[in-house]
């Protein structure tokens, strides 16, 4: 029996675990010297895993589908194994993200080599589309930088033409302009016309906290994985700041108002912050309404734009039931983070426990596990994949 069974569940966050050399066939030759394996994999952790060294024909212990993580997981690095992994997981579809390029792409946003930034974006999209081409249930994300208005619109069109089903933009604010700048109106129009969402993902926010926060005079602490180069408890608390700020600008500057069919996804950045943020925006709207024409022109309250157009993935360790109760039924999405360690071994069990405690209704669960994802993905999710009978069996 698949891990997810008894209802249709779509997965809003899944990943490729790249290995050295993955970008060579996708990045133009003139840029390869700048984006080497050493840049993308400075520690080369995980490349000696037993899974990667094993005979490809050797059977995988299918009872381990949610226990094997990172490079050890089935289909993590080989797209030929990915269809079997999604069969065992039981998800109706997975929205797919890179691992290796998440943090590196956000670094490029602040660099001086604009041509390199957009070249990596093209390579990112080619890589994602190729990996996902083996199964229609795998929905690739394309990367669209926000450095240059004209190049951004071109990158969006190219990503859609290549086959991207969602357009990932950084939550890091560009150096010279707001993400809500009217120069990006072609981007929003392109995505809205195509019926595809704009998504943020953790890693796209750039540096979250100043280094001084980690100089507390005490011994260093390990990160989530037991190392020292990933999130720790203090910078974890800042994960929400970049998307919160970016989305506030987009709401207040009326991007969501002017593009009412455009959907935004906030992926792997938690959701406990969302209820307070929604109410804070409403408070700001009330406080500054008299003096700001942009607020006076709004057709809805800020929180109502969020409920209409923004979809967010809680972490399994968060109180998802409370979040749903305080954001509205339309905001939250299920995600597994497969095959990352952060997703845990049984996210459904943890979400269910939280929702049981909160008294979440079956209708609300249906939206969390399925309908809100379908709404987010729009034309990116083929009609026959939305409610597949085999997933609900």
- Tens digits of residue pLDDT in 120-150: 999 999 999 999 999 999 999 999 999 999 9
pLDDT score at 128: 98
pLDDT score at 106: 82
> In the predicted model, is pLDDT for residue 392 greater than 50?
no
pLDDT score at 224: 63
Q: How confident is the model at residue 46 (pLDDT cuts 50, 70, 90)?
A: low
Give the span between the Cα atoms of 389 and 328, in whole angstroms. Answer: 28
Of the listed ranges 226-230, 277-281, 378-382, the least confidently predicted one is 226-230
> In the predicted model, is pLDDT for residue 48 greater than 70?
no
Q: How confident is the model at residue 42 (pLDDT cuts 50, 70, 90)?
A: confident
> In the predicted model, is pLDDT for residue 45 greater than 70?
no
Give yes or no for a contact between 377 and 141, defined as CB atoms under 8 angstroms apart.
no
Average pLDDT over residues 202-226: 83
- Which token pair is 8? 């249709």
Instruction: Report the sign of the C-alpha dihedral through residues 228, 239, 324, 12, in that order.
Output: negative
pTM of the model: 0.95
- Tens digits of residue pLDDT in 66-91: 999 999 999 999 999 999 999 999 99
Instruction: Report the sign of the C-alpha dihedral through residues 107, 109, 110, 111, in that order.
Output: positive
- Tens digits of residue pLDDT in 347-371: 999 999 999 999 999 999 999 999 9
pLDDT score at 111: 87
> In the predicted model, is pLDDT for residue 31 greater than 80?
yes
Q: How confident is the model at residue 235 (pLDDT cuts 50, 70, 90)?
A: confident
Q: Nearest-CA neighbor of 250 among 185, 186, 195, 204? A: 185
Of the listed ranges 8-12, 193-197, 212-216, the least confidently predicted one is 212-216
- Which token pair is 248? 């506030």
pLDDT score at 379: 98
Antiparallel, parallel or unpaired: β 138-143 and 166-168 = parallel
- Which token pair is 362? 């079956």
Residue for token pair 């996210």: 347
Q: From start to end of the chain, where are the E strands?
A: 11-15, 94-97, 138-143, 166-168, 198-201, 264-267, 310-312
Phi, psi of 311 (to 5 degrees): -125, 135
Give the span between the Cα atoms of 20 and 174, in whole angstroms. Answer: 29
Pairwise pLDDT comparison (165 vs 205), residue with the higher score: 165
Of the listed ranges 100-109, 153-162, 328-337, 382-391, the least confidently predicted one is 382-391
Average pLDDT over residues 315-333: 98
Average pLDDT over residues 30-56: 78
Tell me the CA distances in angstroms from 341 to 8, 52, 309, one per residue in order: 24, 17, 29
Average pLDDT over residues 88-104: 96
Q: Nearest-CA neighbor of 159 among 144, 170, 145? A: 144
- The CA angle 329-324-144, to the nearest 5 degrees, is 80
> In the predicted model, is pLDDT for residue 226 greater than 60?
no
pLDDT score at 175: 94
Of the listed ranges 126-135, 158-167, 195-204, 218-227, the least confidently predicted one is 218-227
Residues with Cβ < 8 Å from 83, sequence gap 6 or more? Answer: 75, 134, 135, 137
pLDDT score at 301: 98
- Tens digits of residue pLDDT in 264-274: 999 999 999 99
pLDDT score at 229: 59
Strand partners, 312: 266, 332
pLDDT score at 311: 98
Q: How confident is the model at residue 56 (pLDDT cuts 50, 70, 90)?
A: low
> Please, what are the domains in the chain?
11-211+224-392 (3.20.20.140)
Residue for token pair 């190049």: 151
Strand partners, 332: 312
């Amino acid at each position: 029996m698949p891990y997810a069974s008894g209802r249709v569940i779509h997965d809003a966050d899944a990943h490729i675990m790249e290995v050295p050399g993955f970008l060579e066939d996708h990045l133009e030759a003139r840029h390869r010297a700048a984006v080497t394996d050493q840049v993308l994999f400075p520690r080369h952790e995980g490349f000696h895993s037993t899974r990667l060294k094993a005979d490809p024909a050797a059977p995988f212990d299918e009872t381990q589908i949610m226990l094997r993580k990172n490079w050890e997981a089935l289909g993590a690095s080989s797209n030929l194994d990915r269809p079997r992994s999604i069969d065992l997981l039981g998800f109706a579809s997975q929205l797919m993200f890179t691992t290796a390029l998440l943090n590196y792409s956000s670094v490029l946003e602040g660099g001086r080599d604009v041509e390199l930034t957009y070249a990596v974006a093209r390579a990112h999209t080619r890589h994602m589309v190729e990996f996902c081409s083996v199964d229609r249930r795998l929905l690739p994300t394309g990367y669209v930088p926000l450095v240059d208005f004209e190049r951004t619109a071109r990158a969006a069109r190219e990503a859609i033409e290549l086959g991207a089903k969602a357009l990932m933009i950084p939550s890091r604010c560009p150096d010279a302009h707001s993400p809500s700048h009217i120069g990006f109106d072609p981007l929003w129009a392109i995505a809205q016309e195509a019926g595809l969402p704009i998504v943020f993902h953790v890693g796209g926010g750039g540096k979250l906290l100043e280094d001084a926060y980690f100089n507390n005079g005490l011994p260093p602490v390990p990160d989530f994985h037991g190392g020292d180069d990933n999130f720790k408890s203090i910078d974890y608390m800042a994960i929400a700041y970049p998307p919160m700020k970016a989305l506030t600008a987009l709401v207040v500057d009326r991007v969501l108002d002017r593009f009412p069919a455009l959907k935004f996804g906030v992926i792997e950045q938690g959701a406990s912050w969302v209820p307070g943020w929604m109410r804070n925006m409403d408070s700001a709207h009330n406080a500054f309404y008299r003096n700001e024409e942009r607020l006076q022109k709004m057709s809805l309250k800020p929180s109502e734009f969020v409920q209409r157009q923004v979809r967010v993935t809680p972490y399994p360790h968060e109180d998802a039931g409370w979040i749903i109760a305080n954001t509205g039924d339309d905001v939250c999405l299920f995600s597994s983070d497969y095959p990352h360690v952060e997703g845990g071994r049984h996210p459904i069990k943890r979400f269910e426990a939280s929702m049981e405690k909160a008294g979440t209704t079956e209708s609300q669960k249906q939206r969390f596990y399925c309908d809100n994802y379908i709404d987010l993905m729009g034309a990116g999710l083929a009609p026959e994949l939305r409610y597949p009978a085999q997933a609900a069996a």
